[in-house]
Structure 1
Amino acid sequence: MFPLKIGYRTIKTAIGAAAAISIAQFVGLNSFASAGILTILCVQSSKKKSLHAAYSRFFACMLAIAFSFVFFETIAYHPVVLGLLLLLFIPVTVRFKISEGIVTSTVIILHLYTSKNITLAIVSNEIALIVIGIGVALLVNLYMPSLDTKLRQYQVEIENNFRTIFQEMVAYLRTNESRWVGEEILETARLLEEAKSLAFRDVQNHFLRAQDYYYHYFKTREKQFEIIERILPMVTSIDLLVNQRYMIADFLEKLTDAIHPGNTAQLYLTRLYELQDQFKEEPLPTTRDEFEARAQLFQLLKELEQYLSIKKSLKVDQLFVKGHNT
């Protein structure tokens, strides 16, 4: 049997629906169960989504009440009229970008349709149901568990994979041999997608935070990973054991030890520029093979320069900076 998993959103939905129905029933509203339906529909995965859902559903419901009065009271309480109402109502909600509230407002429309008489008391009852249902959903959605632990876990796993990949490049540059199967490449691509999705959800839970460290951090790592994917075939295509290979291997080894959340990319950019100057001071190649190998190694340095420049652009929160990191 599959294990039963109950997430925090499920718990909030259950508590919110029960609370909304209890409140609506306590104040003596008709169709009090509809308050629970509204709450269920408005509980979302993030605070911003929940607020947008509440906004859409509230105005869609208000619009539904107005449409119902015009169609049912001026034409007739008839299924054909109900169909005509929906035929016009749905495009209007789409036009005003509140289509998320179509299902909720349809419940209100059906309440008014079955009443056969729209009075101030009935409208007040429906508005009260809307306010209670949406209000309770917003209250329960104020609590969002912190995603920091999970995001940091993704951060650690991605950085570990980066280190492994760099270590394998170092080993190949020094020995021209490798038994690495490259599983970290596929794993890193997957981790980056999952991490970005989770980080975006974290952004949606902060109304006043315009930027989010984790989201930008994972976007930065994604750009760096694209460079790593370009570098790998470049490294493995160099067969000749020229001296510059060992110089780059030494640089990559130091860079590997400095893969952390913080940002001291400028330090390693300076070292890389010094390495480029050393390359230029080396004696000219004597064979075509040596020329091609050194040209590829110089191109490798250019890619590493871009790798470091990307990280340099990341604005790092000082809480995450620990030691010499890139």
Structure 2
Amino acid sequence: MEALLKAAKYAVVTFLAVTIANIVGLEYEISAGIIAIFSLAETNRATIQYIERITLTMVLSLIIASVLFSFLGFHVWIFALYLLITYPITVQFNSHQAIAPCAVAVSHLLQEQSVSVDWMFNEFLLLVIGTGVAFLVNLYQPKRLDQIENYKEKVEEDMKAILTEFADYLLADDAVYEGSISLVSLQDHLREAITLVQTEGENRLTDNYFYYREYFDMREAQTRLLYEMDESLRELGATSPEYEALAEFLHHTSDKLHEKNTGIRLQEDLKKVEVAYQETPLPQSRAEFEERAVLYEVLLDCRKFVQLKKDFARRLRFMHVKRTLKND
């Protein structure tokens, strides 16, 4: 679908740019179509950035080429000299990606053996038409909110599965923990979701973009904690009565993972688990001490996990209040 849309855009911008240039009466009108093709990028922001670069490169190209042609004549080696001088300069301005269509414009001057104002104006109009058409056509971008929502659901399902795996292991007798099988899936879904959100953000700066960016940043931070918890659980031995409270909390967290959960209630539940552990008898052996230390690490990660959700909910409330005040 993406490839078909891009192919359609290439065809449309080429046809429109060449047609407009032809109607205006410009020479080398096909160059307007070539410029339009080069100016089409994956996102609106990238298109604007390319237009800025090609405009700067075109100005440099026409100035340098006109000086060289005027003093040294219209020769192919002068055209090569123009490239030798201009390209390093454009690299300094980070606009070298646009050198190809600008070199085509300079080749027109070489062919016509002229650097008159009329020919300069012709090349600038080709640039304006090509970039203008590309910008307008690229304003159409398919909305990806449905895809992002789908990834959001997948991420939450993966996290629920991971927390459930953690809890089930803590309650299982004689189980050997080999790591969560859902962590890789979670990482893949997060990476794809963040890429989509970034693309959406470069096409339209809306409240939806800011929400999803904050949401997936929060989930990404929580995922790092899940990896740490996964490593910690590998160090625990056979099941113990001390694991039950933590397992119950993880099950409860899995059930309450949805985006609307503020994290306040979970924080209160976690506090009860911490108090319960503080009231248990002190470890009597080195093995018990090490086990208690691992449990404490998992509890700390749980606390950070819940705090991330609580901070996210607070930022959402702030954004909502700010938007309400702005609308008033």
Unaligned runs of 5+ in 1: 321-326
Say if 2:218 and 2:309, in contact at 8 Å, map to a contact too.
Answer: yes
Equivalence for 2:146? 149
1 CA distance for matches of 2:265 and 2:105? Answer: 63
1 CA distance for matches of 2:71 and 2:263? Answer: 71
Deviation at 1:67, TM superposition (A): 1.3
Say if 2:105 and 2:123, in contact at 8 Å, map to a contact too.
Answer: yes
Deviation at 1:289, TM superposition (A): 3.2
Q: Does 1:120 align with 2:150?
A: no
Change (3 A) 1:183 1:250: closer
1 CA distance for matches of 2:74 and 2:261? Answer: 68
Aligned pairs (5 A) from 1:125-140 = 125-140=122-137
Change (3 A) 1:183 1:173: closer
Q: Read off the aligned partner of 1:246 and give its amino acid letter.
A: E
1 CA distance for matches of 2:24 and 2:310? Answer: 59
Change (3 A) 1:317 1:35: farther
Pairing partner for 1:185 from 183, 186, 190 = 183
Mean Cα deviation higher: 88-97 or 39-48: 88-97
Q: Does 1:226 align with 2:224?
A: yes
Unaligned runs of 5+ in 2: 321-328
Say if 2:18 and 2:31, in contact at 8 Å, map to a contact too.
Answer: yes
Q: Read off the aligned partner of 1:153 and give its amino acid letter.
A: N
Deviation at 1:319, TM superposition (A): 11
Equivalence for 2:323? none
Deviation at 1:209, TM superposition (A): 7.0
Deviation at 1:129, TM superposition (A): 0.7
Pairing partner for 2:272 from 268, 271, 274 = 274
Change (3 A) 1:208 1:261: closer
Deviation at 1:216, TM superposition (A): 2.8
Change (3 A) 1:282 1:182: closer
2 CA distance for matches of 1:253 and 1:48? Answer: 43
Cα RMSD over matched residues? 2.4
Say if 2:179 and 2:231, in contact at 8 Å, map to a contact too.
Answer: no
Q: Does 1:316 align with 2:316?
A: yes
Change (3 A) 1:313 1:99: farther
Q: Which runs of 4+ in 1 moved over 6 A?
A: 178-181, 208-211, 317-320
2 CA distance for matches of 1:170 and 1:200? Answer: 34
Deviation at 1:290, TM superposition (A): 3.0
2 CA distance for matches of 1:59 and 1:210? Answer: 34
Change (3 A) 1:181 1:155: same
1 CA distance for matches of 2:165 and 2:205? Answer: 43
Q: Read off the aligned partner of 1:129 and give its amino acid letter.
A: L
Q: Does 1:46 align with 2:34?
A: no
Equivalence for 1:323? none
Aligned partner of residue 243 in structure 1, secondary structure: coil
